[in-house]
Amino acid sequence: MHCIETYDVLGVKISALNLDKAEQAVASMIAGREKGYVCVAPVSTVMDCRKDPAYREIVGKASLVTPDGAPVAWLGRMAGHKDVRRTYGPDLMERLCDRGRAFGWRHFFYGGTTQACDKLERVLKAKFPGLDIVGKLSPPYMARAGHAEADVVRFINAARPDIIWVGLGAPKQDFWSAINRDALDAPVLIGIGAAFDFLSGMKPQAPRWMQGAGLEWLFRLCCEPRRLWRRYLLGNTLFVWLLVKERFGGVR
């Protein structure tokens, strides 16, 4: 894979990407059988990285760190990368499922519930006829990511996927990808957050105008206030404050 430029967001290196460039980069990794993993980075990932040096190291070692949140993409353009656009996890998943049909790419789902995985398979196959989904695995709840059991590794490798979609939620999915990267034969692991639920229709997605305006957080907060209030009301406020502080010479 050719070198992808990066830019800094509060100490986290983000790949200067849009959907086209991300698609090309993943295609290059698959063609070259180049093992790596991809992290999607909304504002919450940047803030989690600031709190946890181990997570910051995991994200820093990723092959790609996509600007998943609109503010993260805006900052890329402000840093001089004019082509950067929001590279939203569900959009990336659909784009790669579509493109992969021409190349025979094999997809594996790891994470989510059995119901979500089954619905996701039906939805994506209906939208992209010929899509090759070679396996699905909904693991039991894990408090923290760890090494996958040997039989799980054998099961996934036996399916010979080109892309493993890891839907455990961040930061767990990124730790899992990094910890199990060497044991898995697939060239690419992509931590995809809530894309399983969004694309399967299990949860509603924000309207496109809200996504483009950087207001998806408000839509999700209204849908799940008890679960997400801390992430968005506190985390987003702190994110803006830290950017202002950094801009005017504050110490990180």
Q: pLDDT tens-digit profile of 128-170?
A: 999 999 999 999 888 889 999 999 999 999 999 999 999 999 9
The residue among 87, 35, 38, 45 whose CA lies nearest residue 62 is 38
* pTM reported for the whole predicted model: 0.91
Percent of the chain with pLDDT over 70: 98
Per-residue pLDDT for 126 more than 70? yes
Contact yes or no for 174/190 (Cβ under 8 A): no
DSSP label at residue 180: H
Q: Which residues contact 230 (CB under 8 A, 6 or more apart)?
A: none
The pLDDT of residue 90 is 95
Per-residue pLDDT for 227 more than 90? no
Instruction: List C-alpha distances in Å: 200 to 120, 139, 224.
Output: 4, 18, 18
